[in-house]
A and B are shown apart, each in its own frame.
Chain A
Amino acid sequence: MSGAGLEDVFLSTSLASYLDKKLLVLLRDGRKLLGILRSFDQFANAVLEGACERVIVGDLYCDIPLGLYVIRGENVVLIGELDLEKEELPARMISVSAAEIKRAQKAERDATDLKGSMRKRMEFLDLD
């Protein structure tokens, strides 16, 4: 960023202010990663330390630890700063084990597939 004036530094949409903070990273495939930002670059590639994936199915959630992650910037949708004084999730949500959340994910996938296949079978009715 050569030739940047003082004003540009203030306005700069840099991830520098997020360094060493615990962040929520939303990915294009719908995954939610949490971790501490240790590094980034102009493509929004990022290094997250102590990363975990928060899987949410309905009111159930599970944090799956991942360790040190390098995220390719093209997959990043949003990087959010978590307010440590606020609850990260609504109180109604229940933490479950990884095995249980995988079961819940499968159940949700099956329900969506069933809905999709039923819709296909009903298509001939032309209800619209």
Chain B
Amino acid sequence: MLFFSYFKELVGKEVTVELKNDLAIRGTLHSVDQYLNIKLENTRVVDQDKYPHMLSVRNCFIRGSVVRYVQLPPDGVDIDILHDATRREARGA
């Protein structure tokens, strides 16, 4: 639940999602769910030339199970709050 709540805070921010198949997509985080499935809006593919089929895709749904990384803006994170929440979760769960 921690990361689900964390991503909910990041809705509206620009992120880059790197998938396990090496495809990297930049976009605005529209929504996230309990499986950490991600919906991105206004998407642009990093290295577009390698993925011509993605040319006209502007919004997409990404299955949580295929995400390798979610790259965040450095100011998108309040590390202290995240740190506290993690300690609380570790204590409680």
Residues of B in contact with A, size category: 20 to 34
A12, A14, A73, A80 pick with most chain B CB within 10 angstroms = A80
A56 touches B53 (CB 8 A): yes
Contacting B at CB under 8 A, from A9-39, are: 10-15, 18, 24, 26, 28, 30, 32
B11 touches A13 (CB 8 A): no
Query: Does A125 interact with chain B (Cβ within 8 Å)?
Result: no
Closest CB-CB distance, A24 to chain B, in whole Å?
6
Q: Which residue of A lies closest to B21 (CB)?
A: A77
A86 touches B61 (CB 8 A): no
Query: Does B13 interact with chain A (Cβ within 8 Å)?
Result: no
Query: Does A78 interact with chain B (Cβ within 8 Å)?
Result: yes
B33 proximity list for chain A (CB < 8 A): 11-14
Known: A13-B37, A44-B63, A78-B66. A89 touches B21 (CB 8 A): no
A15 touches B55 (CB 8 A): no
Closest CB-CB distance, B17 to chain A, in whole Å?
9
Bound together, the chains give a CA A74 to CA B31 distance in angstroms of 20
A81 touches B57 (CB 8 A): yes
Q: Which residue of B lies closest to A29 (CB)?
A: B21
The one of A30, A74, A88 that contacts B56, using a Cβ cutoff of 8 Å: A88
Query: Does A87 interact with chain B (Cβ within 8 Å)?
Result: yes
Residue numbers of B with Cβ under 8 A of A are: 8, 11, 19, 21, 23, 25, 30-33, 37-39, 43, 52-63, 65-66
